Amino acid sequence: MLEILPIKLLRDEDAPIFGPLNVVLGKLARLDFPVANGIVVTAPELHLKTVLEYYDCAHKEIFEQTLILVKKEIEKTPVPEILISETKTHNKFLLGSQATPGSVKELWIALLHEWLEEIKKRLWKDGFYPGIAQNLEPKLVIFLKKPEASGIAFFDSLQDDVVINIQTGKLHPNDQRKLFEIVQDANKKLFIPHEYEWIIDKGLKLTGIKSYTQPVILSAIEGSLTKVSPTSNDKSKSTVKVFLDLSKGLVIEREVDGIYISSEKIFDLNKPQTSWEELVFKLVECAHTFPNSPILMKLADMSEGMGKVRGALRLIHQKSLLDRLCEALLFARNKKELRNIHVVIPFVRGVNELVGLKRELAVRKLIRKNNFQVWLELAVPENVINLEDYLTQGVDGIVLNLDELSAHLSGYDHREQEVSFYKHEVTGLLKFLEDGIKLLHQSKIPFIAYGSLSLNPTVLDFLIEKGVYGIVVERFEAPSITELLHNAEKRMILRRTS
């Protein structure tokens, strides 16, 4: 049975029949994106199945010989009344990448040929089977007037820019700028990068949407294959996990074990809606890109505008801030079913703040369990001194904010360049951390190191010696961090064996 729906009417519940990507295009149309006018048509499965069985297509060898007969028989199929009624005011159509001028009859034949070609591919791949004409791909038909140009556009994270490929015609600079904005806004609304097909037809319009796959740089791979034997592996490895700090920028480095996101670097109270969408986009993008790795989102640690009240205390008392952060977490975890996203509680000054914030999270249905971990950031010396009390409240991991700990312990502002030389005075900090790290190992709680101090050679050797679980690094540090950790581990082994 053939079914037709206009693009704008497609809803989530229509995805099994009309295709999930067509539904996404319909969502953009309802969000007032410039989506071209058109319809989605499903295949007449019963009729196609009857024709194929009549012409005995059970054998691959004779299918090519009978294909001409099958096409002629299918072309005799009368145009469905529903297709005529939906297209009666139009005489030019876009089917796939091909414009189909002329009558509705020619459009119908082009649709049938598309589905027949899909059946042919199935036959050569799997042979003939009873359901070979079922679940054929729904076809997107765009109504055209006077097309001038067409192409595709997508956001390339490697170039950190929108790529516009023009397939026909020319694109005016104003339309290029508009298309650039459309791609960025659409990715934010959909939370996952896509590839967008477009045309210039009395204005810029979207005509299709595809899943976007990050391109692989083949030249680099081919170059390495000519130099390295298939069984060799020169890449340094380390037992310490690498967490990439993606609070800013997009995913580029792939060889990481987890992602760390400081939400205060993304969410802006002056731009609550836009920055909230950026935060959700970041969470969804990272969780999709690294489905088997933990994504740690630190709740916003903001101090401006409230008398320097910051961290967990501000989140407890400013419900509007905590609500938006929790909404982002719940959307990514529940709506998008991304269960690898976990939370980090920031800057606590006492156990009561940890208990209070965990209570607020529980009220918002963010409860610590097997697939939702609650990590705690240690940023002041009090946290280390009373670490046992914090652990009894139940946490799944610890984030050592080394820059903050060093600053509070030695009495300087780590953000000021004039006193940055104090960062190199790490002896006292390492002695202070020893007992706390022993307690973490006894309690079997993993800990990761955060901050620029973690890459200090003395501090890095200490962390590896003490069994750090992971290191949070910036994007520009990611390519070399594994080798750095590998060399530090070698030094540790040599010290122990000498």
Give the 3-state DSSP-derived string for the chain, with helices as H, strands as E and coil as C.
CCCEEEHHHCCHHHHHHHCHHHHHHHHHHHCCCCECCEEEECCCHHHHHHHHHHCCCCCHHHHHHHHHHHHHHHHCCCCCHHHHHHHCCCCEEEECCEEEECCHHHHHHHHHHHHHHHHHHHHHHHCCCCCCCCCCCCEEEEECCCCCEEEEEEEECCCCEEEEEEEECCCCHHHHHHHHHHHHHHHHHHCCCEEEEEEECCCEEEEEEEECCCCCCHHHHHHHHHHCCCCCCCCCCCCCEEEEECCCCCCCCCCCCEEEEEHHHCCCCCCHHHHHHHHHHHHHHHHHHCCCCCEEEECCCCCCCCCCCCHHHHHHHCHHHHHHHHHHHHHHHHHCCCCCEEEEECCCCCHHHHHHHHHHHHHCCCCCECCECEEEEECCHHHHHCHHHHHHCCCCEEEEEHHHHHHHHHCCCCCCHHHHHHHHCCHHHHHHHHHHHHHHHHCCCCEEEECHHHHCHHHHHHHHHCCCCEEEECHHHHHHHHHHHHHHHHHHHHHHHC
Helices 60-75 and 104-126, interaxial angle, to 10°?
170
Would the pLDDT of 63 be above 60?
A: no
CB atoms within 10 A of CB 371: 9
At 105, the pLDDT band (50, 70, 90 cuts) reads confident
350-392 per-position pLDDT tens digit: 999 999 999 999 999 999 998 999 999 999 999 999 999 999 9
What is the C-alpha to C-alpha distance for residues 36 and 497, in angstroms, rounded to an integer? 70
Report the pLDDT averaged over residues 415-427.
Answer: 74
Report the pLDDT averaged over residues 65-69.
Answer: 59
pLDDT of residue 230: 41
Would the pLDDT of 78 be above 80?
A: no
Report the pLDDT averaged over residues 463-492.
Answer: 87
pLDDT of residue 360: 95
What is the C-alpha to C-alpha distance for residues 38 and 92, in angstroms, rounded to an integer? 11
The alpha carbon of residue 99 and the mean position of all alpha carbons in its chain are separated, in whole angstroms, by: 33
At 97, the pLDDT band (50, 70, 90 cuts) reads low
pLDDT of residue 189: 85
pLDDT of residue 224: 43
Higher pLDDT, 47 or 145: 145
Pairing of strands 161-168, 149-156: antiparallel
Would the pLDDT of 443 be above 70?
A: yes
Minimum mean pLDDT range among 71-80, 192-201, 241-250, 423-432? 71-80
What is the C-alpha to C-alpha distance for residues 480 and 123, in angstroms, rounded to an integer? 49
At 470, the pLDDT band (50, 70, 90 cuts) reads very high
Helices 457-465 and 478-497, interaxial angle, to 10°?
60
pLDDT of residue 234: 47
Would the pLDDT of 174 be above 50?
A: yes
40 and 7 Cβ atoms separated by less than 8 Å: yes
Predicted TM-score (pTM) of this structure: 0.62
Would the pLDDT of 398 be above 80?
A: yes
pLDDT of residue 428: 92
Report the pLDDT averaged over residues 260-270.
Answer: 93
39 and 94 Cβ atoms separated by less than 8 Å: no
pLDDT of residue 74: 65
Minimum mean pLDDT range among 27-31, 162-166, 291-295, 442-446? 162-166
Unique residue bearing structure tokens 């008392």: 317
Report the pLDDT averaged over residues 56-61.
Answer: 52
pLDDT of residue 306: 43
What is the C-alpha to C-alpha distance for residues 67 and 76, in angstroms, rounded to an integer? 14
pLDDT of residue 252: 56
Q: What is the mean pLDDT of the chain?
A: 82
pLDDT of residue 130: 65
Q: In this prediction, what percent of the chain has a pLDDT beyond 70? A: 81
Q: In this prediction, what percent of the chain has a pLDDT beyond 90? A: 34
Mention every residue, 6+ apart, whose C-beta is less than 8 A from residue 430.
458, 459, 462
At 156, the pLDDT band (50, 70, 90 cuts) reads confident
pLDDT of residue 210: 86
Would the pLDDT of 164 be above 70?
A: yes
At 52, the pLDDT band (50, 70, 90 cuts) reads low
pLDDT of residue 220: 41
Query: In terms of Cα–Cα distance, which of 285, 328, 325 is closest to 190?
Result: 285
What is the C-alpha to C-alpha distance for residues 87 and 93, in angstroms, rounded to an integer? 9
Minimum mean pLDDT range among 123-137, 219-233, 459-473? 219-233
What is the C-alpha to C-alpha distance for residues 28 and 105, in angstroms, rounded to an integer? 30
pLDDT of residue 228: 40
Unique residue bearing structure tokens 């001038």: 148
Read off the tokens for 297.
């989102």
Would the pLDDT of 429 be above 90?
A: yes
Report the pLDDT averaged over residues 306-330.
Answer: 89
The letter for the amino acid at 179 is: L
Minimum mean pLDDT range among 53-57, 161-165, 287-291, 292-296? 53-57
Mention every residue, 6+ apart, whose C-beta is less than 8 A from residue 453.
402, 403, 406, 423, 426, 429, 459
